[in-house]
Amino acid sequence: MKIGIPKEILEGERRVAVIPKMVEQLRKGEHEVFIEKDAGKGSFFLDSEYEKAGALIRPDAPDLYAEAEVILKIHPLEKIEVELMKTHSAYIGFLFAASRLDVIQIMKGKRITSFAMECIPRLARSQSMDALSSMTTISGYRAVLIAASHLSKFFPLMMTAAGTIPPAKVLVLGAGVAGLQAIATARRLGANVEAFDTRPAVREQVASLGAHFVEMEPVKDAEAASGYAKEVSAEFLKKEREIIGNRMAVNDVVITTAQVFGKKAPTLITEEMVKMMKKGSVIVDIAAEQGGNCELTEVGKTIVKYDIVICGNVNLSSSLSVDASRMYSKNITTFFQHLYTTKDGSFDFEDEITRSTCITHKGEIVNEMVKKAFETEGQARG
């Protein structure tokens, strides 16, 4: 196969889908690797390192796409990118297909086979392919550093000649992959941490990191078979806001990470709750791109309201571009090797990972959720 790695075109994106070390891995399968000039520049992987690993540099995107039979990428393809892809070629990367039906339509027309990284099922054997978890780990870590840089207080307990300063208090909402990493990072910086999640199963994980679990009447069947949280009722959300509201008044920092896969993030913090915080406190809303957990969050912006700093940073993983590229590269290379096991490039759709991630194949949309999204759009158009 001729594998192509284009330069990411999203503004401010610094990651690259494949690092030089993984080029060597990909070539072991007798594949050829092509990479667009300066694709690794934002994460300090130079063209010369790619050449040393055996990749062939292509001067621009049209040249790269004209050659590649399989594209490996991070961000979902833009229309201008999919238009450059060859017919009958393949795409592996994030896709978020249900919200990009125009791109999927073009893929279908060009008989492109596409695999979406965000659809990798949560199985023990797919953990090394799980880029969503890799990237949210980075977000959780980064969010705490952002909070620390905005807070006008120390995170750790400081015993100095000028007196003893108590540690900062941090509340983490949502203790999944990002939340647990945020807890661990805040603890490493010396803060007192408490956390809440609708899945009672995480209580022990929170405690094992030295944080306190905020107790609330547990949600029945909080977790779907996929391992993701289910959406909670409006009644539960009301109670949850009351409990969180009380905790917000005593914490200096709130990191919010609560999400429900495929849905808008739940609003856990209202404007009234923000007003209850101590002046100078900080909220970092990791769920900003999914609609935000805080009512006042502005996507991609840091704002100050009622003397509270509210950070709605997006694409946090790109800010750690070297390690983010390293992790993503390992995930996508393992996934590629899982998909391409035959010499003729055919896929094993009996396999759960392959079946769950495939969106388009042989001119058809094969993913049920995306099919439904097309039907809904068709109905909306009349």
Residues in the site for ligand NAD, rule: CB under 6 A? 122-123, 126-127, 130, 133, 136, 173-179, 196-199, 227-229, 232, 240, 257-261, 266, 268
Provide the minimum distance between the beta carbon of 130 and ligand NAD in the complex, in angstroms, as a whole number.
5
Catalytic residue among 25, 89, 130, 134: 130
Of the two residues 124 and 161, which places its CB atom closer to ligand NAD in the complex?
124
For residue 213, give both structure tokens: 């679990």
Catalytic residue among 99, 102, 125, 127: 127
27 as an active site residue: the answer is no
Of the two residues 43 and 315, which places its CB atom closer to ligand NAD in the complex?
315
355 as an active site residue: the answer is no
Which of 38, 115, 130, 45 has the alpha carbon at shortest distance from 73? 115
The DSSP annotation for 51-101 comes to HHTT-EEESSHHHHHHH-SEEE-SSPPPHHHHTTSPTT-EEEE---GGG-H
CA dihedral 75, 79, 84, 89 (to 10 degrees): 70
Catalytic residue among 48, 60, 99, 122: 122
**Alpha-helical segments (H) within 217-360:** 234-248, 271-275, 321-339, 352-357
Provide the minimum distance between the beta carbon of 350 and ligand NAD in the complex, in angstroms, as a whole number.
20
Of the two residues 293 and 333, which places its CB atom closer to ligand NAD in the complex?
293
Catalytic residue among 47, 63, 133, 356: 133
Helix (H, G, I), strand (E, B) or coil at 288: helix
Catalytic residue among 228, 247, 319, 323: 228
127 as an active site residue: the answer is yes
Provide the minimum distance between the beta carbon of 278 and ligand NAD in the complex, in angstroms, as a whole number.
22
328 as an active site residue: the answer is no
- Please work out, in degrees rounded to the nearest 5, the angle formed at the alpha carbon of residue 57 by the alpha carbons of 54 and 60: 160
Provide the minimum distance between the beta carbon of 76 and ligand NAD in the complex, in angstroms, as a whole number.
18
Helix (H, G, I), strand (E, B) or coil at 215: coil
For residue 65, give both structure tokens: 């796409």
Q: What residues pair up with 90 in beta bridges, in sequence order?
A: 70, 113
Distance CA 67, CA 34 (A): 8
Which residue in the shown chain puts its C-beta closest to ligand NAD? 176
Of the two residues 33 and 316, which places its CB atom closer to ligand NAD in the complex?
316
Of the two residues 39 and 186, which places its CB atom closer to ligand NAD in the complex?
186
Decide if 355 contacts 344 (C-beta within 8 A): no
Provide the minimum distance between the beta carbon of 276 and ligand NAD in the complex, in angstroms, as a whole number.
18
Provide the minimum distance between the beta carbon of 39 and ligand NAD in the complex, in angstroms, as a whole number.
28
340 as an active site residue: the answer is no
Amino acid letter, residue 269: I
C-beta atoms surrounding 73 within 10 Å: 23
Of the two residues 168 and 287, which places its CB atom closer to ligand NAD in the complex?
287
Task: Write out the catalytic residue numbers.
Answer: 122, 127, 130, 133, 228
